[in-house]
Amino acid sequence: MSLLAVLHTPSLHLAILRGSAWLVPVGQRAEWLAEWQSELWYAWRELGDERDRRPELTGFCLGACRDALSIRRTAPLPRTWGSLQIEAAQVFPDLPSFGESRLLDSPLRCLVLLAILAAISALGALLRHGGPHLTAGFIPAVMLMFAPGWLVARVTTAMSLRDSPGARYGARLLAFFAAKMILMLAIAVFTVAFIATLDEKFVAIASQFFYWAAFLSTRWALLDQRQRCPVCLRRLGNTVSIGDRSKVFLEWHGTESMCLKGHGLLRVPENPEIGYHGQRWLQFDPFCAGLFRQL
């Protein structure tokens, strides 16, 4: 008899079953565990007397782990914040949803929201203006950090403005992007100025604050730009994943997003080296807009 055979005790088997039970959804867990414990009792009666066959019982219990995993895989997903938002959007279509950024869907609403935030941060900074910690050269010094922040964001964000679809809409897209960047810049400058007036020690690291503010705002503006329809500048929706990473030689894979006004489809390849380089905008015929209006 091997030493390992001694380890195959009922305690080990019960521990495997109880450990696996944690994988089973709560509603089914008690019955699942009762069934496996009952089956183990009968299995022990059949095989337990033969010490050499006890490893088979351990294998039997390990099957419970696989069973629990298969139940977990097929169980309906728990109600998450995301699913609740989708349900809420179906009941109240006009309700703004922060998780899915419906608030920023419309380009006008997006700019108005940014302008309000810029105004609030400017007001906060101006109310404390003239505090002991701010000098005349503070703002220009801080602004110097914008270039590296912008550069790092541009390099690390997989999107260039040149890739933006539809050359005929380029000016409009660029104007929208510039407006976003100016407002984000204003928010960042005034917020950093406000933080610097709070305490003297913040003045020394204000440029660091601004570097990160520039980086994050540029990154956000680029990513937001990527999700916009070039025709109406609204955010694209119904994003789906297409293709399979393991079948790159047979078909392209990436994501497709659709303009909910029916202007077109944006295809973003997962791997630019396969298929075509960069994202591609597929313009729908004008009659499609009529179809989308009926939805």
Residues that bind another protein (CB under 8 A): 34-35, 37-39, 41-43, 46, 59-67, 70-71, 74
Q: Which is nearer to another protein, 72 or 154 (CB)?
A: 72
Q: Which is nearer to another protein, 43 or 134 (CB)?
A: 43
The candidate with the shortest Cα–Cα distance to 280, out of 239, 218, 226, is 226
Minimum gap (Å) between residue 78 Cβ and another protein: 19
The candidate with the shortest Cα–Cα distance to 52, out of 118, 101, 90, 5, is 5
Contacts with 192 (C-beta within 8 Å, 6 or more apart), sequence order: 142, 206, 209, 210, 213
Q: Rounded distance, CA 77 to CA 249, Å?
A: 33
Q: Which is nearer to another protein, 38 or 241 (CB)?
A: 38
Q: How far is CA 79 from the centre of its chain?
A: 18
Q: Which is nearer to another protein, 62 or 242 (CB)?
A: 62
Cβ pair 265, 282 in contact under 8 A? yes
Q: State the virtual CA torsion across 151, 156, 157, 161 in degrees, nearest 10.
A: 40
Minimum gap (Å) between residue 247 Cβ and another protein: 24
Residue 80 tokens, joined:
């998450």
Q: Which is nearer to another protein, 37 or 283 (CB)?
A: 37
Minimum gap (Å) between residue 51 Cβ and another protein: 19
